[in-house]
A and B are shown apart, each in its own frame.
Chain A
Amino acid sequence: MWEFKVSRRSFASLTFTGAFAGLLSSRRAFPASAPLTARQIVDRIKEHLGIPWNNKTYRDIFHAGDPDGAVHGIASTFMSTLDVIQRAHAKGLNFVITHEPTFWSDEDAIAPLLEDPLFKLKRAYIEQNGMIVFRLHDHWHARKPDGIFEGWNHALGWEKYLVTGSNRMWELPATTLGAVARHVAKSLNTNSLRLVGDPDLPVRRVGRGSHTLSGNMATLPYVDALLVSEAREWDSIEYVRDAVLSGEKKGMILISHEAGEEAGMDNFASWLRTFITEVPVTFVPTRDQMWIPA
């Protein structure tokens, strides 16, 4: 969601957690009959991320279910929508690792929702079916390389175009804004792409935009077009529209949050399989639920 930076202080406090997690894992090296718990899997993730865990994160936490419950299978997904949780349950995957919120709030602010019928239904579904939901957002972004960006870049087939030393810019063979947009829509399998600017605009350099105006303002001067996964209409989109109307040769390809990050959780499933071998790990796509009529 929003950019994440590990502070110097959290780095220091985290080394200890890393060491502790290491201890736990050495214990697991002994043959054990007990099944893996969700908490043990999260500990193993912490250990393999290669970055210190920020204990102050309000995002990367358990959302629902029993963290000490036994895990039979893991579903990795962009967002733990009710539909995703139902599909994971049908596949026998009772541990859902989601990139985005479960209860429609970045801070997992559930207090105002406790009497909400949909909240009650969703939480009851999770608990009654022995499901467990954990969010992995900040740390999957903070990992080097950014696990979401790595998957996205791969889904676009743009690894070879990445500007050396940058993780924000691609240099494409000469093309147009419309052609880039069609490639993006096709490779990310989305029907809700929106375009700001002239489809015939010549494009070489594309920048990975941001959810925020500050981020988009910082990148736009260096690129022909921004590729943005969800930004607010009153600021980022109006800014780029004004840049175009002022005569600048710029464009913006706007895709859904899901289309921009889903591949990053497919990538997460592949990474997780390299060290979780006891239970199946499956990517369960959230799929872009939005569509624009032809």
Chain B
Amino acid sequence: MSITAREVVEQIQKHMGSPWIHGADVCEAGNPETPISGIATSFTATFNVLRHAADSGHNLIITRERPFWSHENVVMEHSGGSVGPLRPELSKDALFQKKSEFINQNNLVVWRFQENWDARPVDGQLQGLAKALGWDKYYAPKPDSEPWSPGNHIFTPPPMPLLQAVQEMKRRLNCVAPRVIGDPALYTTRAALLPGFLLVPQLRKALKDPAVNLIVCGEPVEWEAAPYLMDVIASGRRIGMIILGNEVSQEPGSGEVAAWLKTFIREIPVEWIPAGEPFHEFKAEST
């Protein structure tokens, strides 16, 4: 008895606990009627994720980001944003064609799962990153809202200087290129975890807690949230920011997606295949 990609998604819809939002979460590539022998979850379906999925027979890949990179006609909320290349232009690209061919030849299906995952009462992205950092035991939820609800994101890890905090994160998350704003010697005691893209309104909200002295995020715009934080520092507040990268900060959330899927999908295997950080280690000094 086999299950198709569409049927898997119908099962997901049934288990959401709230009405399905018909927006971004669509079949991005492949045929929805394809029989599925296994499921892979990942931040994004890179060529390597696709290869690994094909090799292990996990032919439905559920991702947060889009396999063909462009957000097309969706303008992200940041200022100065523009629409990406649209499908007619994208489909002329040699890399687009190569990736499509690989997906079709290997009978793969890529389905996006972002909007509905984020609409759950529990913030799976926050939970995933906290666990990956080993910070779930340092969680300091607000007493007036549900633990792990979106925006309830304060942690009190052991106090340490900013430099040591980022080195610890590099080790925990196995990443090479987290960027930092702030004094390396700054003592950090109270952190707001904001995985993913960071906009000014979210940052302002996190800064309302006057004791927060560390912001951990995925990707700020360098003319928006990043200089806002620099100005907060120049205004006299002792605070730092660790910019993990979009993939690094969000990938553990895809692990949470896999764990959640396993609670109701039992007929086929479910595996989290991390895309990995896109960057190669770089040393400024030649060795």
Measured in the bound complex, the distance between the Cα atoms of B246 and A181 in whole Å is 22
The 8 A CB mask of B143-181 against A (1 = contact, 0 = none) is: 000000000000000000001001100100000011111
A111 proximal to B (CB < 8 A): no
Most chain B CB neighbours (cut-off 10 Å) among A104, A217, A248: A104
B202 proximal to A (CB < 8 A): no
Closest approach, in angstroms, between the C-beta of A27 and any C-beta of chain B?
A: 37
The 8 A CB mask of A228-253 against B (1 = contact, 0 = none) is: 00101111111111110110100000
- Selecting from B5-13, B40-48, B263-271, the interface stretch reads B40-48
Q: Which residues of A contact B82 (CB under 8 A)?
A: 2, 212
A104 and B235 within 8 A (CB): no
B282 and A82 within 8 A (CB): no
Given the contacts A185-B284, A293-B170, A238 and B180 also touching, CB distance less than 8 Å = no
Which of B181, B201, B223 contacts A79 (CB under 8 A)?
A: B223
Q: Which residues of B contact A230 (CB under 8 A)?
A: 222
A198 and B179 within 8 A (CB): no
B25 proximal to A (CB < 8 A): no
Q: Which residues of B contact A1 (CB under 8 A)?
A: 80, 223
Q: Which residues of B contact A30 (CB under 8 A)?
A: none
Given the contacts A196-B278, A196-B280, A105 and B69 also touching, CB distance less than 8 Å = no
B282 and A195 within 8 A (CB): yes
A186 proximal to B (CB < 8 A): yes
B278 and A238 within 8 A (CB): yes
Interface residues of B in 100-130 (CB under 8 A from A): none
- Selecting from B15-23, B134-142, B226-234, the interface stretch reads B226-234
Given the contacts A83-B234, A112-B201, A293-B178, A104 and B224 also touching, CB distance less than 8 Å = yes
Q: Which residues of B contact A245 (CB under 8 A)?
A: 46-48
B219 proximal to A (CB < 8 A): yes
Which of B95, B225, B234 contacts A243 (CB under 8 A)?
A: B95
Given the contacts A258-B222, A291-B180, A234 and B227 also touching, CB distance less than 8 Å = no
Closest to A197 in B: B280
A257 and B223 within 8 A (CB): yes
Measured in the bound complex, the distance between the Cα atoms of B180 and A182 in whole Å is 19
B235 and A82 within 8 A (CB): yes
Question: Which bracket fits the contact residues of A?
Answer: 35 or more
Interface residues of B in 209-264 (CB under 8 A from A): 218-219, 222-228, 230-235, 243, 245-247
The 8 A CB mask of B69-100 against A (1 = contact, 0 = none) is: 11100001001101011000100011100110
Closest approach, in angstroms, between the C-beta of A264 and any C-beta of chain B?
A: 15
Most chain A CB neighbours (cut-off 10 Å) among B46, B243, B284: B284
A10 proximal to B (CB < 8 A): no
Q: Which residues of B contact A241 (CB under 8 A)?
A: 46, 278
Given the contacts A82-B234, A182-B286, A245-B48, A104 and B180 also touching, CB distance less than 8 Å = no
A101 proximal to B (CB < 8 A): yes
A182 and B46 within 8 A (CB): no
A181 and B80 within 8 A (CB): no
A290 and B219 within 8 A (CB): no
A159 proximal to B (CB < 8 A): no
A219 proximal to B (CB < 8 A): no
Q: Which residues of A contact B218 (CB under 8 A)?
A: 233
B167 and A196 within 8 A (CB): no
Interface residues of A in 137-196 (CB under 8 A from B): 178-179, 181-182, 185-186, 191-196
B234 and A242 within 8 A (CB): no
A199 proximal to B (CB < 8 A): yes
A213 and B181 within 8 A (CB): no
B223 and A290 within 8 A (CB): no
Closest to B286 in A: A182
Closest to A230 in B: B222
Measured in the bound complex, the distance between the Cα atoms of B245 and A192 in whole Å is 12
Measured in the bound complex, the distance between the Cα atoms of B221 and A144 in whole Å is 28
Which of B66, B99, B223 contacts A100 (CB under 8 A)?
A: B223
Closest to B219 in A: A233
A238 and B223 within 8 A (CB): no
Measured in the bound complex, the distance between the Cα atoms of B70 and A212 in whole Å is 10
Q: Which residues of B contact A185 (CB under 8 A)?
A: 282, 284
A292 and B180 within 8 A (CB): yes
B246 and A234 within 8 A (CB): yes
Which of B163, B181, B228, B285 contacts A104 (CB under 8 A)?
A: B228
20 pairs of residues in contact across A and B, judged by CB atoms under 8 Å: A2-B80, A2-B82, A81-B234, A82-B230, A83-B231, A100-B223, A104-B200, A105-B223, A185-B284, A195-B177, A196-B280, A212-B84, A241-B46, A242-B46, A245-B46, A245-B48, A290-B179, A291-B179, A293-B163, A294-B283
B residues with a Cβ closer than 8 A to A are 44, 46-48, 65-66, 69-71, 76, 79-80, 82, 84-85, 89, 93-95, 98-99, 163, 166-167, 170, 177-181, 184, 197, 200-201, 204, 218-219, 222-228, 230-235, 243, 245-247, 278-286
Q: 7 closest Cβ contacts across the A-B interface?
A: A106-B80, A106-B79, A245-B47, A82-B234, A257-B222, A233-B246, A83-B234
Given pairs A81-B231, A104-B223, A289-B230, 7 additional interface contacts (CB within 8 A) = A81-B234, A83-B230, A104-B200, A107-B80, A194-B179, A234-B65, A292-B178
